[in-house]
Amino acid sequence: MPKYLITISGPTAIGKTALSIELARHFQTEILSADSRQFFQELKIGTAVPEPEELDAAPHHFIQHISITENYSVGDFERDAIRKLEEIYQQQDIAIMVGGSGLYLKAITEGLDDFPEVDPAIRLKLKQQLEEEGIDRLQKELFVLDPDYYRTADVQNPHRLIRALEICIGTGKTFSSFLNKPKKPRDFTVIPVGLTAEREVIYERINRRVDLMMEKGLLEEARKVYPQRQLNALNTVGYKELFEYFGGKWDLDTAVSEIKKNTRRFAKRQLTWFRKDERINWFDYQEDPKRIIDFIESRISS
């Protein structure tokens, strides 16, 4: 029987988790998370990990399965998620993947781009440059070396910046020149679904979510990981702003305001990424899940 992977994407706080559970219960299948920050055991409130009753409603994978101290790349995720899909497909014809991390979704649906190996000393030098001169310096360097990638990349993510720069420096070619090459076809058919709303609605939902996170204890959660703030996993909206509060740079109201602002910026980048994919079938965030199910079933039966 043919196998299908239903992907659910869209900006943060749009309702992807609720829809994924509706679909998983209808199709009696399992959910793989492609939210790269929900992977971490220590980051529950600030990454909007599903509530216990939601996790109990359908089998979930790749939620809080590693520590912030572990190195876990998108390549590691691709390997592990493909292996998990193979297990699911032994029993089911349909699986669901949900998340707002576009690169992680792409790694599973299309496969990763193949990059040449470069001198490890380049990465070490870039990390040192980040520590000594800050992220602005790396952003400017990427803009010069690969303006095409700079315009589409998450340039607030130091890991992505360093990865792109080490390829540019180590090969003498742009990082973007290695992207979107033909890859090995997958053994399943992807049915991509996206949730969206007017920008004002998205921003309002984000603001409400941040307030709710603070009520649930985000401040204390961030305080627990503050001693490890240098870890890449903690360069995450919701934590890095509170670290500035703990360090005395901002008061708490300013930190919360910055969380909201930076989350809105993140949602804008998510929409930019996903809207470039013409295969995604978009639905309003208030759409009746039954209509989305009908659409998916029509794709499966066609």
185 is in an annotated binding site: no
User: b/e map of 52-73 (b: 16 or more CB within 10 Å)?
Assistant: eeebebbebbbbbebebeeebe
263 is in an annotated binding site: no
Cα within 13 Å of Cα(20), Cβ side = 32
Report the distance separating Cα 17 and Cα 229, nearest Å. 28
Pairing of strands 281-284, 31-33: unpaired
10 is in an annotated binding site: yes
11 is in an annotated binding site: yes
15 is in an annotated binding site: yes
The answer to whether 140 touches 150, Cβ cutoff 8 Å, is no
Cα within 13 Å of Cα(76), Cβ side = 9
What phi and psi values does residue 98 have, to the nearest 5 degrees?
-135, 140
Say which amino acid occupies 262: N
272 is in an annotated binding site: no
Say how many C-beta atoms besides its own lie within 10 A of residue 200's C-beta.
8
Say how many C-beta atoms besides its own lie within 10 A of residue 247's C-beta.
10
Report the distance separating Cα 46 and Cα 209, nearest Å. 10
Which residue in this structure is represented by tokens 């440059």?
129
Binding site as annotated, residues? 10-17
Binding site as annotated, residues for ATP? 10-17
Binding site as annotated, residues for substrate? 12-17
